[in-house]
Amino acid sequence: MIGIKPFILALSTFAGVLLPAIADVPRQNTVRLNEIARLLNEKPGDAAANISNREIWNRLAALPSAARHLRSAEALLDKPVPVITGEMYLKWYTTDYVKDAKAVPYYVPFWARRNAVALLTTAECLENKGRFLPKLQEYLLEIAAMRTWVQPSHDPKHLCFDGKKPVIDIASAEMAHTLALSCDWLRGRLRSDVYEKAAKALEKQIFTPYRLFISGSSVPWWFFGDSNWNAVCHCGSVCAALSVVPERMERAKFLEAGERGIRRYLLGFYSDGVCREGMDYWNYGFGNFLRFGLTVRRMTQGHVDFFAGGQAERNFAFAFGGMLEPWIAPHFADGGANPNPLVVSLGAQAWPKYRTAKSDAVDIFAGGIVNQSVRMFEPDAPARAMAEKRQDDLRLPIRTWYPVAQILTCRPDDRLTGGLAATIKGGNNGEHHNHNDLGSYAILLDGVEMAGDPGGAVYTKTTFTSRRYENPMINSFGHPVPAVAGHLQRDGAKFSTKTVKTDFSENRDSIVLDLTGAYDVPELQRLLREMTYRRAERSVSIRDTVQFSKPSAFETPLVTFSKIERGADDSQWLLSAGKPLRNLWLKIEVRSGGKWTVRREKIPNPKKAEPERLSVAFQNPISSADVQLTFSPAAE
C-alpha cells in the first residue's frame, strides 16, 4: 500500500525555430564526455532485449497477456501498410484545426505506422518464428522512405517536407525511438537492406540534425528549453542513438548533450514539484523524462542517474499531489487529463516507495516497445506481471498545499474514497500552455467534476500565436474567475497572485488569494478570493471581496458542464452530472454591493462540449462587493 503523507511542502512554438547559442547555455564538457564513453558498452543497444536472448523472451512469452499481444499483431498481417501521400501532409495548410485527424488525414496513418512497428517487433521477439518479419520489414521500408517524420503542424513553412532544413520535433523523435528499438531487438534477423535503409533514415531524420545541435553554433528552442518538448525530443533522439549508432564515442556525444539539455526540463516545474503545463503534459513530458532516465540507467549500469536530487522526485510526486481523489485530477490549462498509471509505474521504478496496485497492474506489454524497453527487462518484471492483482491501495492525504505554485487541494477523510473534493490555483499568467485562470478552481463530487475549470480547447493555428487569448476557453472569460470593470485577466508572468492567508485543520481548510495583480485595471484597489473547505459539513465556498477607487462593473461566474436547474429563486441552483447522477446545490449570497442578477450563457468551444457560464453580475457600477458561492451535496 502506498501511503502518501500530506504534501505540505515548505519548499510551443514551432520546432523549426532556431535560437543562437547564448552564454548561459552549458557547453560540451570533454571530461564528462570521456566519463560517459567509458560507461557505455562497446556495442550499441541492449543485449538483454535482443531476440536471441531466449531466456528472457520465453519467460515473457509465457505471460497470459502475451497471447493477446500476438493476436493484435496477427491482425496486421493481411492488411496493407497505411498509405501516406504528400497531399495528405499538405492538407494541414488548408485547415484551422492543427491536430484534427479528420481535417488532416496524415496523422492517422503516421501513428498507425509507428504503432505497427512496435506491435510487430514485440510479437516476433515473443514468437521467434519469422512469421511477423515480412510485414514488419514492409513497414520499416515505407517509414524509411518518408520525406520527413516531422508533423505538418511543426513545419509551418513546409521546409522539412521540402528537405530544406533539418529539424527534430516530438513526432520525429518518437518515430525514431521506435524504429531504433526495432532494429536493435531484431539485430541479425532483419534483412541487411532493410536495416541499412532504416539506419540511413535515422541518420537523415534525427542523428544529422542532432549532431548540428551538439556543435552549439545554433540550437533549437527545445534543446535547453523547459517544456515537454525538451524531454520528448531528447529522449527519442538520444535513446535512438544509444540503440543503433555503432561508435561508442559518438553515442557518448549524444548522451552528454542530452544530459546537459534534460536538466533544463526539470526546471520547468515549480520548485515544489507542480507541472506548469498541467497533468496531461506531465503524463507526456515527464513520462518521456522517465523513459529517458530509465534507458540511460540501463545503458550505463546505473552510473548516470537523472533521478538523483530532490527536484526530479518532487516533479514525479505531483502525480499524486495533483489528484483530487485517486486517479482523478483537475483539468487546468491545456493539460486536461488524469495521471496515467503507466507513467506512474515508470516512476515507481525510479522511486519504489510510490508503487500502487493500479500502476503495478498495468500490462507489461502496454505502451509499445518504448515503454516495454524500460519495463520488461528488469529482473523481477515477469514475476511482477504474474503477481495476483490487488485492490487499489492508493490513499491520498486530506490536503495538498503547494506554496510556490499556490495550489491547494482539499479532500475528505483519507480513509474514504469519493465524497466532495476541491482545488484552487494561483500563480501567474505566463506559463507554458497558459490559460488566464488565476483563482480558478474545480469541485469534484464522487469522482465527477461538478463545477470549475473546463479544461482546454481544440488547438488551432492561432493557439500558439499572439491571438491565443482571443479564444474564450483560454482567456479568463471561460474560467470561473471575475470580470473586473469590464476587463478580463491579462496574460504574462507579471500578472500574478499572492497568497494572503492559509488556515488548515482536521475539519476545515481555507486559503485567501489576492487576485488584484491578475488584472490591468487602475481603479481596482483589491480583489480577494477565499476558498473554504468544510470537511465535516461537506461543503466548499468561494468568496470574492472587491474594492474600487470609483464605481465599476463587476461579475463573478461559475463554469460547469453540469445540467443547471434554478431553485426557488436566483440564489439557489442545482447542478447535476454523471451516471449515476450526482447532485450539488449552489447557494449564492451577495452580502454587499447592491442589486444583482444572474446571467447564463454558453462558452463557445468549437469541436468540443460547450460549458455553461452562470455569473453573478451587479446591475450598476459598485464601489465594493462581497459575494459567496457555496456548494454542498444534495440530500439523497
CATH number of domain containing 234? 1.50.10.100
DSSP 531: E
Q: With contact defined as beta carbons under 8 Å apart, do 10 and 224 qualify?
A: no
State the cell numbers at 124: 516476433
Give the per-residue pLDDT at 165: 87
410 and 381 inside one domain: no
Residue 391 included in any domain: no
340 and 412 inside one domain: no
157 and 68 inside one domain: yes
Distance (Å, whole) CA 599 – CA 558 = 11
* Gyration radius of the chain over CA positions: 26
Distance (Å, whole) CA 434 – CA 468 = 10
Query: Which of these three, 358, 386, 414, is where a domain ends?
Result: 386
Residue 393 included in any domain: no
Give the per-residue pLDDT at 10: 26
* Alpha helices, DSSP H, located in 205-273: 208-215, 228-244, 248-266
CA 617 to chain centre: 35
The residue type of 597 is T
Bridge-based pairing state of the strands 612-618 and 622-633: unpaired
Nearest residue to 429 (alpha-carbon basis) of 501, 497, 512: 497
Q: With contact defined as beta carbons under 8 Å apart, do 398 and 411 qualify?
A: yes
The residue type of 483 is A
CATH code, domain with 510 = 2.70.98.70
187 and 271 inside one domain: yes
Nearest residue to 559 (alpha-carbon basis) of 583, 533, 586: 586
The answer to whether the pTM exceeds 0.85 is yes
Q: With contact defined as beta carbons under 8 Å apart, do 138 and 144 qualify?
A: no
E-strand ranges in 192-266 read 218-220
Give the per-residue pLDDT at 413: 83
* Beta pairing partners, 629: 542, 588
Q: In which residue are the cell numbers 521546409 written?
A: 159
421 and 378 inside one domain: no
Residue 37 included in any domain: yes
22 and 122 inside one domain: yes
Residue 259 included in any domain: yes
480 and 540 inside one domain: yes
E-strand ranges in 117-230 read 218-220
Give the per-residue pLDDT at 5: 31
Q: Pseudo-torsion of CA 404, 410, 415, 420, nearest 10°?
A: -150
358 and 433 inside one domain: no
Residue 1 included in any domain: no
The segments of the chain whose pLDDT lies below 70 read: 1-25, 414-417, 636
302 and 428 inside one domain: no
Q: With contact defined as beta carbons under 8 Å apart, do 490 and 520 qualify?
A: yes
Query: Which of these three, 356, 386, 416, is where a domain ends?
Result: 386
Give the per-residue pLDDT at 385: 85
Query: Which of these three, 321, 355, 386, is where a domain ends?
Result: 386
Residue 115 burial by CB count (10 A; 0-12/13-18/19+): exposed, middle or buried?
middle
Distance (Å, whole) CA 161 – CA 148 = 6
209 and 336 inside one domain: yes
Give the up-direction half-sphere exposure of residue 475: CA atoms within 13 A in the CB hemisphere.
Answer: 16
Give the per-residue pLDDT at 382: 85
Give the per-residue pLDDT at 103: 81
212 and 313 inside one domain: yes
Distance (Å, whole) CA 8 – CA 11 = 9
Nearest residue to 406 (alpha-carbon basis) of 497, 516, 326, 276: 497
The number of distinct structural domains making up the chain is 2
294 and 235 inside one domain: yes
Residue 101 included in any domain: yes
The size of the chain, in residues, is 636
Where in the sequence is the domain holding 18, given as residue range(s)?
Answer: 7-386
Per the rule left: phi > 0, alpha: psi between -120 and 50, beta: everything else, 141 is: alpha
Residue 394 included in any domain: no
User: What Å distances lie between residue 344 and 291, 313, 373, 397, CA to CA?
Assistant: 11, 12, 16, 18
Give the up-direction half-sphere exposure of residue 416: CA atoms within 13 A in the CB hemisphere.
Answer: 14
Residue 341 included in any domain: yes
